[in-house]
A = this chain, B = another copy of it.
Amino acid sequence: MTTQGVQTGVIGVTGYAGAELARLLIRHPRLHGKPPVFAGRVDEKDAARGGTPLTEIHPQLAASNGNSHLKQEPFSWELLADRGVKVLFMATPHEQSREWAPEALKRGIRVIDLSGAWRLLDPANRAVYAFKDEGSDLAAQTQAQAVYGMPELYRAQIAGAKLIANPGCYSTSVILPLRPLVAAGLIDVESGIVADSKSGVSGAGKSPTAKTHFMYAADNLSAYGVFAHRHTGELLEQIGLKTGEIVFTPHLLPIPRGILSTIYVRFREPQTHGSIARVYGEFFANSPMVRIYEKGLPQIQYSVRTNYADIGFQLDASGRRAVIVSCLDNLLKGAAGQAVQNLNVMMGWPESEGLE
């Protein structure tokens, strides 16, 4: 098999998405015997022993049959070159991705970036990030090469892409159920779509903050980022909506992982369960990682720890309104899993390889 294997690298393995990336890539059938090069900031003591053992960073990755030799090594471009890294996963802060992605491209390394750095086409939507290099030529050239990394929408472009902008977790849970219906012209977008999303705490990152404290999150629910969340731009651009046509409200759930989005739409013409199911069926015909519920609604427990995006829906008696529920694991289909799915597409491997 000529497409077997490729040398990958991971920057930012220390976070939650990084841990999932490591797990997926280490076990990936096409990468057998070719574990990723993990690179990042390493303190002096660890640098002296060649890096920090991966199993010290993430004890749950320890396995009797290996892994013990894997280390996060001190990052340098030379390291990546020496090891022959061809595809680089960046689970890094936005600004770091803005700086390093162009450099990687220059060195001929393909990049799958999990940050928000390269997702947004419209400068107005990007404003919320206030990137330092906004407006520079390099940024513009880099952005022009970026493909939004949602295989269900951009499979062909991803195959040849140099830079993948891996989608936001909330965005994925809202774009996948809405794009087919909006593209088919079924939704009365002027009346306004509501996306009420709820996410587990891992979505807030690994840094201890007042909001990720157990005492804040447990036994609680809170809305945040109302009319102001950074994923809103992705919704507008990828679903194909104008400002004001969707209201998106994220909430912090007292669970480790998982997203459920409850989406409220009004149809231009009365629909039936069958007519909507048909639209989804056609749109996702070649998408192994989307599961459409024939009856019932998805729940977080059914998609968590998988790379599936689950979609279910229910219409009111008039056929004019629907409640759509989508679920996914924010660290997998919402981050690391989708990143590996993109790798599969880039390499011409089966899209769900190593993800089921």
Contacts and interface: CB of A to CB of B under 8 A. Distances in A.
Interface stretch (A31-39, A44-52, A177-185, A222-230): A222-230
A299 interface: yes
A351 to B, nearest CB: 9
Interface stretch (A103-111, A128-136, A189-197): A189-197
Contacts of A303: 60
A216 to B, nearest CB: 8
A255 B64 CA distance: 26
A257 to B, nearest CB: 8
Chain A interface residue bracket vs B: 35 or more
A100 interface: no
A254 interface: yes
A349 to B, nearest CB: 14
Nearest to A327: B221
A297 B214 contact: no
A4 interface: no
Contacts of A94: none
A60 B308 CA distance: 10
A51 B175 CA distance: 36
B356 A64 contact: yes
A316 B214 contact: no
Interface in A277-317: 288-289, 291, 297, 299-306, 308, 314-317
Nearest to A266: B192
B321 A356 contact: no
Interface in A192-216: 192, 194, 196, 198, 201-202, 206, 208-210, 212-216
CB-CB nearest 7 A-B residue pairs: A208-B208, A64-B288, A222-B299, A196-B196, A220-B301, A201-B214, A214-B217
